[in-house]
Amino acid sequence: MQEKKTDLLVLGGGPGGYSAAFRAADLGRKVTIIEKSSVLGGVCLNVGCIPSKTLLHLAQVIEEAEQLAPLGVSFGKPSFDLEKIRAHRDSVIQTLTSGLDSLCKARKVERIEGVGTFLSDTELKVVTDKEELKLTFEDLIIAVGSRSVQIPGIPYDDERIWDSTKALALTHIPKRLAIIGGGIIGLEVATMYHALGSEITIIEMLDSLIPPADRDLKQPLVKKLKKQYAGIYTSTKVEKVEAKKEGLTLHLKGEKAPQTIEADAVLVAVGRKVNSDRIGIENTSIKLNARGWIEVDKKLRTNVPHVFAIGDVVGDPMLAHKSSHQGKVASEVASGHAAAFTPLAIPSVAYTNPEVAWIGLTEQEAKEKGIAFKKGSFPWMASGRALSSLASDGVSKALFDEKTGRLLGAGICGKNAGELISEAVLALEMGAVALDIGLSIHPH
């Protein structure tokens, strides 16, 4: 086994990993990044956020074109060339991965394509296609991400059972698509395939879709989806999926759900499981919590002083933009700079139609914490811009501390909510009060 030594080693090449590597290189460190795939970018760039945005854009255009008929503008029924759609998706991914390659070269970041596992607190074994390496390091940042959760009773060896990666592969458009899980991933995939012509059924074990968001915030979306989809069953469990030649039978348990439904494909989107169990962490002193998340402090340092962890592997929220920020912080701390990960607001966004975005405290969380608050809410039906753009299915809301007026949380449901929420992120991070926001003049 060949031995190599590096200054700072990054295990994982997703948004958190490559952000950490680039920042450390900018600070003068000799950096090596280990990634099992032939390209950087992780789930987000290759089989997650980026391909989904490409397909969601198509879905949005298709739906907006259909909405123009009452205004006197009609288009023919759309036809789909899946090969061209996939080619565009792949072109976007290739452009971005090539850009990351260029950034690596410019910063002289060493890349090793292989699978890394710990031998000890100070050694890592890397298995490549050609050889095995033993790497030693001064500092290490773990950024190995997560994978889709699997649930019992599902015949995962059947090609008609999908995870999010298979759904985004877009090999074909099923006539009937059942989605187990009414969270962000499930609903985004539903948005894509409904626009492409699939009949959608959602099954969610909890009592509402997008469980973390306030009910009044997501209500415009839920109301619309109930009209569009074949069925939405909340408080319902999928006991098993039976694979037959002619289709898939889902056996359900829920007060308002049928005993069975039929589908041509089933997406399982019930959450993510961290990959801490795949890196030989049992060979180290690194501590995990009961859920397998790596325990870190505000500086993203583990209980082993020279080992840091970032992104999904340290727990919720499992979001690429959180991982990227953590990567920069971890590299700065590892390089001797004063830094900490202490955000007041990490935005969550469902890129559905309409979009749902929120930051800070929800009403339910504020009540559970015993925080007295005041709420401002504005229906988009009263917005001239929204009405003119056929985007009146929406609402904006904000929560303020009752005593100080300080912004506690905010949410937007509507077109481009994912962009609009950024102003609220800045306001919350800067400690804005209601008067600050009220005195800010916005364009009309």
Measure CA of the first residue to CA of the last residue in the chain; give whole Å.
66
Q: Are residues 207 and 222 in the same domain?
A: yes
Res. 444: pLDDT tops 90: no
Number of folded domains that form the chain: 3
Distance, CA of 82 to CA of 192 (rounded, Å): 13
pLDDT in tens, 262-313: 999 999 999 999 999 999 999 999 999 999 999 999 999 999 999 999 999 9
Report the run of H or E that residue 126 belongs to, with start and end: strand 123-127
Assess whether pLDDT exceeds 90 at residue 161. Answer: yes
Q: Measure the CA–CA gap between 332 and 299, rounded to whole angstroms.
A: 9
CB under 8 A, 24+ apart: contacts of 342-346: 342/298, 343/429, 344/428, 344/429, 345/424, 345/425, 345/428, 345/429, 346/317, 346/319, 346/321, 346/322
We report the CATH number of the domain holding residue 376 as 3.30.390.30
- CA atoms in the 13 A half-sphere facing the CB of 135: 29
- Same domain? For 312 and 375 the reply is no
Residues 11 and 144 in one domain: yes
155 in any annotated domain: no
Per-residue pLDDT at 329: 99
For the chain, the average pLDDT equals: 97
- 263 and 277 inside one domain: no
Phi, psi (degrees; rounded to nearest 5) at 364? -60, -45
pLDDT per position as a tens digit, 368-417: 999 999 999 999 999 999 999 999 999 999 999 999 999 999 999 999 99
Per the listing, tokens 């402090």 go with 297
Q: Please check the confidence at residue 198 and state whether its pLDDT lies above 90.
A: yes
Q: Are 222 and 197 in contact (CB under 8 A)?
A: no
Active site residue 444: yes
Indicate which residue of 321, 325, 442, 444 is catalytic.
444
Banded pLDDT at 1 (limits 50, 70, 90): confident
Q: Tokens representing 44?
A: 């987000």
List Cα–Cα distances, 368 to 9, 82, 138, 178, in angstroms.
41, 48, 44, 34
* Residues with Cβ within 8 Å of residue 57, at least 6 apart in sequence: none
183 and 51, same structural domain? no
H-type helices in 241-352, by residue range? 320-334
- Check whether residue 425 and residue 357 sit in a common domain: yes
pTM of this prediction?
A: 0.96
Range of the domain at 372: 348-438
Same structural domain for residues 356 and 433?
yes
Which tens digit of pLDDT belongs to each residue from 45-70?
999 999 999 999 999 999 999 999 98
